């Protein structure tokens, strides 16, 4: 069942179990004892029949009565202890694994999140971890119970009549033959069913995420049909697997029927011959069926082990993902930044053979505002991601105040750079909590000052509970522009020496844009800043405008200088947009 590769994988997860080793051993012992106690009743029955009913020996009945009362009490006590220990080990293990995985994930490069996607990560951290817990606790207990039951029942059978006991052993291979015959078809049909179910759930997830698209294109009927087809094909696979399992069970019952007939005939013969008592035959009968129950469970155990190995694989996919971006052994603290930034012959590619930046050279003096402009996909966001070291350059270097970003501690680098993205994220929580995210110790006065700079204070005061209003699913829903201004306030509050504004003003109307322009003028005065904007009107005041095209810088200069270049790219872009905005204005007036 578990080959070399599987053992290796399990070994990697073994350290999660180590702290619970003693409790696990206790759990196994308790389970084994409880199972053994559970095997007593047929033996008690035997003495009731042989000594009390047949021989009329009442003294034995007294002893048996005491045993019959004590047994369930002892079993119940053990069951409680098992439940508690099991819950302790199971939940402890789950918590520890999730904590470890999350901690590891936070160290992983952005590439990991891009490649894996939130849905997959969620199902690994929640579902797969739960499935491993299920294996270590309930499944393993099931295996112990089966194992103990088998050997105890066999021992009792042998004790009651060793010849019939040996006969049972002779019948054992028939069960295994049946098992091996059905194993592959069952396994294949279950894995087919799983694949189909995956398809159903992935399809459903996509359809739900894109529900607005479905509705807006009036594709409900088509989507309905596609979904119905997927679910039906999973139903077929489920039926196939059910019929294989039914075949297996039928085979097992066939063998069991044969076994019972043989025991019955032999038992009668031994009673007539005086070799066995009535009670002994009854007890033997009972033990022989208990002995074979665990074999019936074999396929299920094998299937579940296989399913758990899939979960283990998926968890290892996260744990084995290399931490590419981490502090070097000799990383130094980046002292408070003055704001000199240099890109020196920077080359970068996300995927091998597809260069995104091809030899970027750019020097920025402290306090300068740099605007990055260029067509979509030319590499603007990538440049800022490299500056924050979300990725490492493939060639060349990026330095801040002369420090190569790869030589300094990540924390000291990133906490000194503020970032406002086009799609700003707010967590579920109050406005205050969200704003304080980067600097939890800021005072109320600082908080309000930052909100004023970002032109969002007024808006916040209009919400029902001001700074204590909840954001998120159950709270107020923000427009993109409001969210962005909150994000600006959040970044301003950390007072970063370098500020990155990636399309920070792109989704604002002209009025809020003008407000933010003014505010940004204040924020950016004494900071080095990188502003990425498609709307050139927002960056005309930049100290350096960098025009990019396909991963290269093609023009640099101020707005005035760039407009001087005949047939220059910037000039073209600017003229296009100017024409566009005049058209818009004319349309607005006409409307």
Ligand X SMILES: Nc1ncnc2c1ncn2[C@@H]1O[C@H](COP(=O)(O)OP(=O)(O)OP(=O)(O)O)[C@@H](O)[C@H]1O
User: Under the rule (CB under 6 A), what is the footprint of ligand X?
Assistant: 114, 350, 356, 376-382
Tell the smallest beta-carbon distance from residue 126 to ligand X (Å): 25
- Binding partner of 490, given Mg ion, ligand X, none, CB within 5-8 angstroms per partner class: none
Looking at the Cβ atoms of 6 and 577, the one nearer to ligand X is 577
Looking at the Cβ atoms of 368 and 381, the one nearer to Mg ion is 381
- Binding partner of 430, given ligand X, Mg ion, none, CB within 5-8 angstroms per partner class: none
Number of residues that bind Mg ion (CB under 5 A): 1
From the number of C-beta atoms within 10 Å of its C-beta (0-12, 13-18, 19+), residue 13 rates as middle
The backbone torsions φ and ψ at residue 498, rounded to the nearest 5 degrees and listed phi first, read -125, 135
From the number of C-beta atoms within 10 Å of its C-beta (0-12, 13-18, 19+), residue 217 rates as exposed
- Binding partner of 457, given ligand X, Mg ion, none, CB within 5-8 angstroms per partner class: none
Best CA proximity match to 254, nearest among 171, 186, 364, 367: 171
Task: Look at residue 569 and give its three-state secondary structure.
Answer: helix
Buried b (16+ CB within 10 A) or exposed e, 473-507: eebeebeebbbbbbbbbbbbbbbbbbbbbbbbbbb
What is the distance between the alpha carbons of residues 550 and 505, in angstroms, rounded to a whole number? 23
DSSP 236: H
Looking at the Cβ atoms of 84 and 113, the one nearer to ligand X is 113
- Binding partner of 102, given ligand X, Mg ion, none, CB within 5-8 angstroms per partner class: none
Buried b (16+ CB within 10 A) or exposed e, 120-130: ebeebbeebbe
Looking at the Cβ atoms of 315 and 536, the one nearer to ligand X is 536
Tell the smallest beta-carbon distance from residue 548 to ligand X (Å): 7
Tell the smallest beta-carbon distance from residue 356 to Mg ion (Å): 11
Looking at the Cβ atoms of 160 and 488, the one nearer to Mg ion is 488
Cα 76 to chain center, whole Å? 38
Tell the smallest beta-carbon distance from residue 351 to ligand X (Å): 6
Looking at the Cβ atoms of 380 and 527, the one nearer to ligand X is 380
Tell the smallest beta-carbon distance from residue 582 to ligand X (Å): 24
Best CA proximity match to 536, nearest among 512, 563, 554: 563
Q: Which stretch binds Mg ion (CB under 5 A): 24-32, 227-235, 303-311, 380-388?
A: 380-388
**x/- contact string, 332-371, with Mg ion (CB under 5 A)?**
----------------------------------------
- Binding partner of 382, given ligand X, Mg ion, none, CB within 5-8 angstroms per partner class: ligand X
What is the distance between the alpha carbons of residues 578 and 591, in angstroms, rounded to a whole number? 20
Looking at the Cβ atoms of 380 and 457, the one nearer to ligand X is 380
- Binding partner of 379, given Mg ion, ligand X, none, CB within 5-8 angstroms per partner class: ligand X
The backbone torsions φ and ψ at residue 370, rounded to the nearest 5 degrees and listed phi first, read -110, 135
Looking at the Cβ atoms of 35 and 419, the one nearer to ligand X is 419
What is the distance between the alpha carbons of residues 455 and 449, in angstroms, rounded to a whole number? 10
Residue 35 is a binding residue for Mg ion (CB under 5 A): no
**How big is the chain by its Cα radius of gyration, in Å?**
36
Tell the smallest beta-carbon distance from residue 381 to Mg ion (Å): 3
Tell the smallest beta-carbon distance from residue 372 to ligand X (Å): 8
Cα torsion angle, 406, 409, 415, 416, sign: negative
Neighbours of 106 (CB within 10 A): 8
Tell the smallest beta-carbon distance from residue 349 to ligand X (Å): 9
Looking at the Cβ atoms of 381 and 434, the one nearer to Mg ion is 381
Tell the smallest beta-carbon distance from residue 114 to ligand X (Å): 4
- Binding partner of 356, given Mg ion, ligand X, none, CB within 5-8 angstroms per partner class: ligand X
Best CA proximity match to 467, nearest among 496, 491, 489, 495: 489
Q: Which stretch binds Mg ion (CB under 5 A): 61-69, 330-338, 381-389, 564-572?
A: 381-389
Instruction: List beta partners, residue 528.
Output: 498
Tell the smallest beta-carbon distance from residue 338 to Mg ion (Å): 27
Cβ-closest position to Mg ion: 381
- Binding partner of 350, given ligand X, Mg ion, none, CB within 5-8 angstroms per partner class: ligand X
Residue 98, token pair as written in the block: 């999730």
Cα 112 to chain center, whole Å? 12
Looking at the Cβ atoms of 381 and 399, the one nearer to Mg ion is 381
Parallel, antiparallel or unpaired: strands 498-502 and 528-532: parallel
Residue 496, token pair as written in the block: 């970063």
Cα 310 to chain center, whole Å? 14
Tell the smallest beta-carbon distance from residue 417 to Mg ion (Å): 16
- Binding partner of 5, given ligand X, Mg ion, none, CB within 5-8 angstroms per partner class: none
Tell the smallest beta-carbon distance from residue 546 to ligand X (Å): 11
Looking at the Cβ atoms of 42 and 551, the one nearer to ligand X is 551
CA angle 286/292/294 to nearest 5° reads: 120
Residue 342, token pair as written in the block: 């240099």
Neighbours of 142 (CB within 10 A): 16
Q: Which stretch binds Mg ion (CB under 5 A): 155-163, 289-297, 377-385, 423-431?
A: 377-385
Residue 381 is a binding residue for Mg ion (CB under 5 A): yes
Residue 185, token pair as written in the block: 């078809």
Residue 149 is a binding residue for Mg ion (CB under 5 A): no
Looking at the Cβ atoms of 189 and 381, the one nearer to Mg ion is 381
Which residue is associated with the tokens 């200088």? 561
Binding residues for Mg ion, rule: CB under 5 A, are 381
């Amino acid at each position: 069942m578990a080959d070399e590769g599987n053992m290796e994988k399990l070994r990697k997860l073994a350290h999660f179990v180590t702290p619970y080793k003693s409790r696990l051993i206790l759990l196994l012992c308790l389970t084994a004892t409880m199972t053994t106690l559970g095997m007593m009743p047929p033996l008690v029955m035997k003495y009731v029949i042989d000594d009390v009913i047949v021989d009329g020996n009442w003294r034995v009945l007294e002893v048996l009565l005491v045993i019959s009362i004590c047994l369930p009490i002892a079993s119940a006590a053990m069951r409680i202890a098992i439940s508690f220990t099991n819950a302790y080990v199971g939940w402890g293990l789950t918590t520890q694994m999730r904590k470890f995985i999350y901690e590891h994930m936070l160290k992983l490069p952005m590439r990991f999140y891009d490649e894996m996607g939130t849905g997959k990560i969620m199902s690994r951290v929640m579902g797969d971890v739960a499935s491993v817990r299920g294996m270590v606790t309930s499944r393993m207990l099931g295996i112990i119970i089966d194992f103990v039951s088998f050997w105890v029942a066999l021992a009792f059978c042998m004790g009651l009549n060793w010849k019939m006991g040996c006969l049972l052993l002779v019948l054992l291979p028939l069960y295994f033959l049946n098992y091996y015959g059905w194993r592959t078809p069952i396994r294949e049909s279950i894995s087919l069913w799983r694949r189909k179910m995956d398809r159903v759930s992935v399809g459903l997830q996509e359809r739900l995420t894109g529900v607005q698209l479905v509705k807006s294109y009036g594709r409900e009927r088509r989507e309905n049909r596609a979904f119905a087809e997927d679910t039906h094909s999973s139903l077929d696979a489920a039926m196939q697997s059910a019929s294989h399992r039914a075949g297996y069970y039928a085979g097992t019952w066939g063998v069991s029927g044969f076994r019972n007939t043989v025991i019955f005939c032999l038992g009668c013969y031994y009673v007539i011959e005086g070799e066995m008592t009535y009670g002994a035959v009854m007890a033997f009968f009972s033990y022989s069926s208990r002995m074979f129950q665990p074999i019936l469970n074999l396929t299920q155990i094998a299937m579940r082990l296989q399913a758990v190995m899939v979960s283990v694989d998926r968890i290892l996919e996260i744990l084995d993902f290399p931490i590419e971006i981490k502090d070097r052994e000799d990383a130094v603290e980046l002292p408070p930044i003055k704001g000199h930034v240099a890109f020196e012959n920077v080359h970068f590619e996300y995927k091998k053979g597809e260069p995104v930046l091809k030899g970027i050279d750019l020097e920025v003096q402290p306090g300068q505002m740099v605007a990055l402009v260029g067509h979509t996909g030319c590499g603007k966001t990538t440049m800022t991601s490299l500056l924050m070291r979300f990725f490492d350059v493939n060639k060349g270097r990026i330095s801040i105040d002369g420090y190569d970003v790869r030589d300094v501690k990540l924390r000291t680098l990133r906490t000194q750079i503020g970032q406002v993205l086009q799609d700003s994220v707010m967590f579920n929580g109050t406005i205050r909590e969200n704003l304080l995210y980067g600097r939890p110790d800021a005072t109320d006065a600082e908080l309000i000052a930052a909100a004023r700079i970002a032109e969002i204070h007024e808006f916040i005061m209009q919400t029902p509970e001001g700074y204590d209003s909840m954001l998120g699913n159950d709270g107020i829903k923000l427009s993109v522009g409001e969210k962005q201004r909150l994000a600006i306030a959040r970044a301003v509050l950390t007072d970063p020496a370098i500020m990155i504004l990636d399309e920070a003003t792109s989704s604002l109307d002209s009025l809020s844009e003008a407000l933010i322009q003014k505010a940004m003028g204040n924020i950016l005065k004494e900071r080095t800043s990188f502003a990425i904007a498609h709307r050139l009107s927002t960056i005309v005041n930049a100290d350096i405008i960098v025009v990019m095209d396909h991963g290269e810088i093609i023009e640099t200069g101020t707005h005035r200088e760039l407009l001087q270049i005949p047939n220059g790219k910037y000039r073209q872009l600017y003229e296009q947009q100017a024409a566009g905005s005049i058209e818009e204005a004319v349309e607005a007036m006409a409307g």
